[in-house]
Amino acid sequence: MSTQHPWTNGIPGFKAMFLLLFMYWPAGNRLPAGDKDRGGLQLPDGFQAVVVVDSIGRARHFAVNDNGDIYVKLRVPDDLGRGSVAMRDVDSDGKADIVEYFGDYPDEGNYGNAMRIHKGFLYFATAGEVYRTRLTPGRLLPEGRSERILVDDYKRGRYSHIAKPIAFDNNGNMYVPFGSPGDACQVNDRQPGSPGQDPCPELAEYGGVWKFSDSKPEQRQSDGQRYATGLRSIVGMEWNSKVNALFAMQHGRDDLYRTWPQYFTPWHSALLPSEELLKVSEGSDAGWPYYYYDHLQGKKLLNPEYGGDGRKQGDGQKYNQPLVAFPGHFAPNDILFYTGDQFPERYRDGAFIAFHGSTIRAPYPQGGYFVGFVPFRDGKPSGEWEVFADGFAGIDTIVNTSDARYRPMGLAQGPDGSLYVNDSEKGKIWRIMYPGDRSSFGPAQLASMGRRKSTAPNVKTPEMVKDNLAGKLLSQGGKLYATYCAACHQTNGKGDGSRFPPLAGTDWVTGDKRRLMQLVIHGLSGPITVNGVGYNEAMPAHAYLKDAEIAAILTYIRQSFGNNAGFITANEVPRNRKMKDMLPEK
C-alpha cells in the first residue's frame, strides 16, 4: 500500500517515465551542490549540506540503502495507517523526487522507532513489534508481506521507555533494549521522597538489552537472552563491526531536584545525571537503578532512592563505566560509527551522536538539539567530544522544548560517505557532505564549532546564576497572569474572600501539577474547599491559551504569593489537554 506524497504531484511526466523505464538513476561519484545556507546548519568549515526533503511527518530512525534510497520510520502513522516512508533522488541533485508512504502492518502506540537495513531486508519497529520486509534491488518499495520478528506485550500498563532501536552483529543476532517502565524503580514512581525498591523487580524483564535471532519469526522476550542489564533507557544503539561490539547511549533519569530537593539544586538537576556512551558487553551491568553517572565529579554515584546524597559513591566503581559522559538530558537518540572515506580522515571510525534535546532543564536553557562527534581509535575514544552540526532549533536560547523548530533524531550513512540527519518534529532530512580537499582539513576548520561548545546556550554548561531564566519566565507569567487571572484572584493572589479562592498557600496550586494544568485547561464548576473555605464559583476553561502561556502562568503562581513550588514547562501541558482524571468528579 503506497501513495505519492502530495507535493510530488505535478512533477513533469518525464521523471515518472524515466523511473519506470530505468528503475534507478545511478548516483555516480560527484556530490550534489549544497544549499547556499547549508540547510540552516552550522558545520565545521568546508562541509556543505543539502535539504533532501521537508515535512514528511514526525520521523524517528531511518536508513539509506546501497543505491541511495532512503527509508524512514514515522512515530505516528499517516491517516491511512502507514508508518513508513520511502524516497528516491531521481536526478542526483540531492533532493528527493519520489516520496512514497507504505505499511501493511498494525502501527499502534504512537512510538514507532527503528529502521535498519540488514541482509537485504528492511527492519523496523512499532511501539511493540519488530518487523522485516524484503527489499528488491532496483525497486523503491518493499515487496511481499511484512514478517513479524518480535512481539512485546507492552500494553500491560507499561508505556514508558518502550522505544525499540535494533542492532545486528555478524553472527545472525539482533539486539533490542527493553527500557524501564519507571524512572528509578521507586515504590511510587517519580514521587518526591519515595524510596527505591531493592532488589528492583523491574530488572527481571526491563532495564536491559536482549539478544534474539535476526530471522526467526514471532519471537517473544522469553525467546531471547538477556545480554546486559542496568540500562534505564536506550534509543541510540549500534553494533560496531570493526571491533565486534555493541555500543549504546543511555538516557539518564529525571528530576533530581523535584524529587530530592534536600540534596540537589535546579542547576544540578539540569546537568545530571549524565548521558552515557557505553560499550555494552555480554553480562555487563551499568548500575541502573541503584547508580547514576556524574560527569562533573567523574564518578558513578549512589542514587538518592538508595541512600545517596549527590556525593556517596558506594559500589559505583564496580559497574560498567561510560566511555564518554555528556551533560544531562541531551537525549542521545541515535549513534553511528562512520565508515566512509568522503569525510576527512579524522572522522573515520568515530561516533556521530544525534542529541534530540532536553525537556526538563528549566529554569535553565534546554540543552542538546545538535549532532555531536566523538573521535575513536582502536575501538576507544581518542579525544574530547565535539559539536559537529548545530542550528536545528532555529533559535539561540531554547526556553521551552516546543520553541525548537527542528530536533535531530536519526543518523544514516549514504553509500558515498555522506552523513544524513533527520528531524522528529516535521520530518526534515539533511545530507551533509565534504566536497573539499580532505588533506587540508585541520584545527582551523574546527575552531568555529569549538567556540559553539563553550558558548552556545544549548551546549555549554550553564552558569548557576547568570543563565538561570527564572526571572524571565516569572516576568512573562506575571504579565499573562495580570491579563487572564488577576481580575478574579487579585494581583496579590489572595482572591476576593468570597467568590474566588486564594492562590497563596494552597495545595491546589503547589500540589500535583497535573491537577493544576487540567483545572486551567478545562475549567471547574461546583463546590470546592480551599484552605478550609468553601467556594462555588465557576472557573472558566482556558484551553485557548498556548502551551507556553499556560506553563508561564502556572509557573508564576507556583512561585509567587509566598508559594515555592516547581516550574511547569510547555512540554508538560499537551498531555493534560485531553485528560481530566485529576479533577473532582461531578
- For 267-279, the DSSP string reads HHHHH-SPEEEEE
Q: Is the pLDDT of residue 325 over 70?
A: yes
What does the pLDDT look like over 130-141, one tens digit per residue?
Answer: 999 999 999 999
The pLDDT assigned to 536 comes to 73
Q: What is the mean pLDDT of residues 238-255?
A: 96
CA distance 7 to 28: 26
**Measured between alpha carbons, how far is residue 53 from residues 39, 63, 88 in Å?**
11, 14, 10
* Extended beta strands in 406-456, E state: 408-413, 419-423, 429-433
* Contacts of 377 by beta carbon, 8 Å cutoff, 6+ apart: 349
The pLDDT assigned to 487 comes to 72
Confidence of residue 264 (pLDDT cuts 50, 70, 90): very high
What does the pLDDT look like over 285-295, one tens digit per residue?
Answer: 999 999 999 99
Instruction: Please tell me the pTM assigned to this model.
Output: 0.83
Q: Is the pLDDT of residue 387 over 90?
A: yes
What does the pLDDT look like over 180-197, one tens digit per residue?
Answer: 988 999 999 888 899 999
The pLDDT assigned to 28 comes to 46
The pLDDT assigned to 23 comes to 41
**Measured between alpha carbons, how far is residue 261 from residues 269, 304, 309, 473 in Å?**
9, 11, 10, 21
Q: Is the pLDDT of residue 272 over 90?
A: yes
Residue whose grid cell is 524512514: 72
Across the chain, mean pLDDT equals 90
Q: Is the pLDDT of residue 329 over 70?
A: yes
Q: Is the pLDDT of residue 304 over 50?
A: yes
Q: Is the pLDDT of residue 5 over 70?
A: no
The pLDDT assigned to 16 comes to 43
Q: What is the CA radius of gyration of the chain?
A: 25
What does the pLDDT look like over 539-573, one tens digit per residue?
Answer: 889 999 999 999 999 999 999 999 999 888 888 89
CA distance 513 to 507: 10
Q: What is the mean pLDDT of residues 76-97?
A: 94
Domains of the chain as residue ranges with CATH: 2-455 (2.120.10.30), 470-577 (1.10.760.10)
CA distance 527 to 586: 10
What does the pLDDT look like over 114-157, one tens digit per residue?
Answer: 999 999 999 999 988 999 999 999 999 998 899 999 999 776 66
Confidence of residue 9 (pLDDT cuts 50, 70, 90): very low
Compute φ and ψ for 552, nearest 5 degrees: -65, -45
Q: DSSP states of 457-495 as a string?
A: TTTSPPPTTTT--HHHHHHHHHHHHHHHTHHHH-TTS--
CA distance 555 to 557: 6
The pLDDT assigned to 586 comes to 57
Handedness of CA 398, 274, 116, 370 (dihedral sign): positive
* Cell numbers that stand for 51 in this block: 535539504
* Contacts of 111 by beta carbon, 8 Å cutoff, 6+ apart: 75, 126, 127, 162, 163
Compute φ and ψ for 135, nearest 5 degrees: -100, 135
Q: Is the pLDDT of residue 10 over 50?
A: no
Q: Please, is 125 exposed, middle or buried when counting C-beta atoms within 10 Å of its C-beta (0-12, 13-18, 19+)?
A: buried
Q: DSSP states of 77-140 as a string?
A: --TTS--EEEEE-SSSSSS--EEEEE--S---SS----EEEETTEEEEE-SSEEEEEEPPTT-S
Contact of 45 with 444, CB cutoff 8 Å: yes
List, edge to edge, every strand of the sheet that includes 351-355.
Answer: 332-337, 351-355, 370-374, 386-389
What does the pLDDT look like over 440-491, one tens digit per residue?
Answer: 999 999 999 999 999 999 999 999 999 998 777 678 888 898 888 887 888 8
The pLDDT assigned to 157 comes to 63
Q: Is the pLDDT of residue 11 over 70?
A: no
What does the pLDDT look like over 507-549, one tens digit per residue?
Answer: 999 999 999 999 999 998 777 889 888 787 778 899 999 999 9
Q: What is the mean pLDDT of residues 24-39?
A: 77
Residue whose grid cell is 528530576: 255
Q: Is the pLDDT of residue 1 over 60?
A: no
Residues in the chain, how many?
A: 586
